[in-house]
Chains A and B, each alone.
Chain A
Amino acid sequence: MEPATTSTAIAFEEVSVNFGGLQALSSVSFSVSSGEIVGLIGPNGAGKTTAFNVACGFVKPSSGAVTYPVSKRHGLRPDQLARSGIARTLQGVGLFPHCTVLENVMAGGQIRPHGGFFAGIFSSPASVRAERSLRDDALAVLERLNIAAVAPRLPSEIPYGTAKKVSIARALMCDPSLLLLDEPASGLDGAELDDFAHLITTLRSSMGVLLVEHDMDFVMPLVDRLVVLNFGEVIASGAPEDVRRNPDVVAAYLGVDQ
């Protein structure tokens, strides 16, 4: 593990997205540094998911740019992003239903070397070795998250909270410099939430984390910074306490709860 640095892991520069006539994002700018946990919040329809999809390459910005200093390039396809150290989880669990938990985690190392077609069909010694070390690493990540016992099971046979951990284990397999978490708290109960918050805090030592979340009780103590979206615009950003007191935010979003 490298020590935490303060380099930028992802930066949105004046990003706008139009779907037909709908302005989903307008001139959104923010950044996440390595070693930082940033929460992206906002009411339903505020553009959180769109921003997230732009971050991981599923949606191309209509104007503006997203830069990933890791790869020194922008406008990458999702699979190219994965190659440049950006890992994400999907809403829900997003696992592969007919593959075992171990294979689901091994999938996170899909982009490692010696995994090509010809290496595979002729079973080259290098590919067999790479496959063995991939398996060992996947088991190690499962051990680290204390879920190694479910390695041979199918995702449908394990509890929901464990399945969410499996999806994080998969994301960790490519040693990402930026981890994008899509609603990590949804569907979890109290004890699992604490467990998850702890897990995410331990990850920041080696990467930047950007998470989209509804659950304010989960997000507030966890993140270093919040970015609040409403109607596709950033209406506030800063430390959780400051954002909580921001009148615009209270009016747009938090006020609904209180």
Chain B
Amino acid sequence: MRTLAPRSRIAVAALTLVVVFVSSILAAPTTRNGVVLGLALDGALASLSVLSSRDLRKRRPTLARALGSVVVVDVALGATFFFSANTNYNLAIGAAMAIVLLGLSFLTGISGQISLGNSAFMGVGALAVAIWANHHASTPLVVTLLIAVACGAVAGLLLGLPAARLRGPYLAGMTLAFAVAFTAIVNSFTSWTGGDAGLQLPNAVTAPRWMATLFDSQSSPLALNSAWLADVTIVAAGVSFFLMANLIHSRAGRAMRLLRDNDVAAEIVGVSLARSRVLAFVVSSAYAALGGGLWTLINNSVSPPAYSFALSITILSLVVIGGIGTVSGALLGGVIYAYSASVISWITTQTGLNPQGNLASQLNGIIFGALLVLVMLFAPLGIVGLIRRLHRRLASKLPG
């Protein structure tokens, strides 16, 4: 074990404090304000430790990523205690979507492949959770979600093996075929999947008792449970983002960037092309399945028609709008998706459109389409790319 630089020691000490703090909160939570205060302190400590050591990212990259995730997750968790049930629902849906976006962003931006089938992989995860829960109702949440991830990974492997031989439009075509076939496949196993009607969870995910004690006795169970579901999703997203950041900066992640840039040169430095391509496909599918599984928990049911090809297009647009191949772009895409429902309903009420009408039901596609065109015109690298460009321009103008 190498000795740590003094500033890194501060960071490690801070992380220890963070862990102690969180565990003490979880062990004996008393009031809602106590938890929020704890989260705030915890986030502040993590930010402080990141700031206290300017070269932390270089010296202890994993620690820096962990602290970064803790800060963002803390802020989001704290917010769920104040949000309305509806906002928490949107937040949860968006956080789950961010996981899916991250998977596709990785596949497209880092490994240089494309998938139009991620809606179907979401569907695989969503159905896996519903089917498992209907047979084993008492399985812990984490295990159920991991089963969804495993199902998504296996599906990704099955599609990824032949897909590793295809490039560009051919790969897009094959994954598109999977996305289109998914609903048909689901309908041919109605006894398992419930067909178009889908499946209900046998019992809704409810907040654990310790969390209920944090809320006023007047709080509706709905508010409590939606806050809990948002918290679960945020933590899942935090873990997913942390792991993906690790992967992107690791040698396995570099292998994927190398073969994206120059596959002949990647092969001569020892990257196994097929293996890396399939692996990227599996990771992307597993992330999509986790997002889909979380959607089932949030909605308390799964409706297979929701995982149609149109969702794949929305996912791809959001990845492009956020910024392909960037972790923050996926997060941004998730936020946009979380708010798109509210924005659309706002537009519907403002313009007096019939909410059940033809135009209102197409608004989603119209808005994402317009946003996509704007981004492609003015910021081809997405919003994150635009921000980075502006930042670089500012930095070059400032002296020093």
Contacts and interface: CB of A to CB of B under 8 A. Distances in A.
B252 A95 contact: no
B376 interface: no
Interface stretch (B20-28, B113-121, B257-265): B257-265
B55 interface: no
A111 B270 contact: yes
A174 B65 CA distance: 30
Which one of B254, B258, B272, B273 has the highest number of Cβ atoms from chain A below 10 Å of its Cβ? Answer: B254
A110 B246 contact: no
Contacts of A128: 61-62
Given A90-B268, A110-B269, A127 B250 contact: yes
Nearest to B245: A123
Contacts of B254: 99, 103, 106-107, 110
A13 to B, nearest CB: 23
Given A120-B246, A120-B250, A121-B247, A96 B268 contact: no
Given A96-B258, A117-B279, A90 B62 contact: no
Given A99-B257, A99-B261, A110-B258, A82 B270 contact: yes
A185 to B, nearest CB: 20
A94 interface: yes
Contacts of A130: 251
A94 B279 CA distance: 24
A79 B268 CA distance: 6
B158 interface: no
Interface in B195-235: none
A59 to B, nearest CB: 13
A120 B253 contact: yes
Contact of B62 (A56, A112, A123): A123
Interface in B29-64: 61-62
Interface residues of B, number: 29
A94 B62 contact: no
Nearest to A116: B252
Interface residues of A, number: 36
Contacts, number: 97
B363 interface: no
Q: Is the interface of B mostly helix, strand, loop or mixed?
A: helix
Given A82-B270, A83-B270, A121-B247, A110 B261 contact: no
A249 B242 CA distance: 62
Contacts of B257: 96, 98-99, 103
B265 A95 contact: yes
A88 B261 contact: no
Interface in A5-54: none
A125 to B, nearest CB: 8
A127 B62 CA distance: 11
15 contacts: A79-B268, A82-B268, A87-B268, A110-B254, A110-B258, A112-B251, A115-B251, A115-B255, A117-B247, A121-B244, A123-B61, A123-B250, A128-B62, A174-B269, A174-B270
Interface of B: 61-62, 65, 243-244, 246-247, 250-255, 257-258, 260-262, 264-273, 279
Interface of A: 56, 78-79, 82-83, 87-88, 90, 94-99, 103, 106-108, 110-112, 115-117, 119-123, 127-128, 130-131, 134, 170, 174
Q: Which 7 A-B pairs have the closest CB atoms?
A: A120-B250, A82-B270, A115-B251, A111-B270, A96-B261, A120-B252, A123-B62
Given A120-B247, A128-B62, A130-B251, 20 more contacts: A79-B267, A79-B270, A87-B268, A90-B264, A90-B265, A94-B262, A95-B265, A96-B265, A107-B266, A110-B254, A110-B270, A115-B250, A115-B251, A115-B252, A120-B250, A121-B243, A122-B246, A123-B65, A174-B269, A174-B270
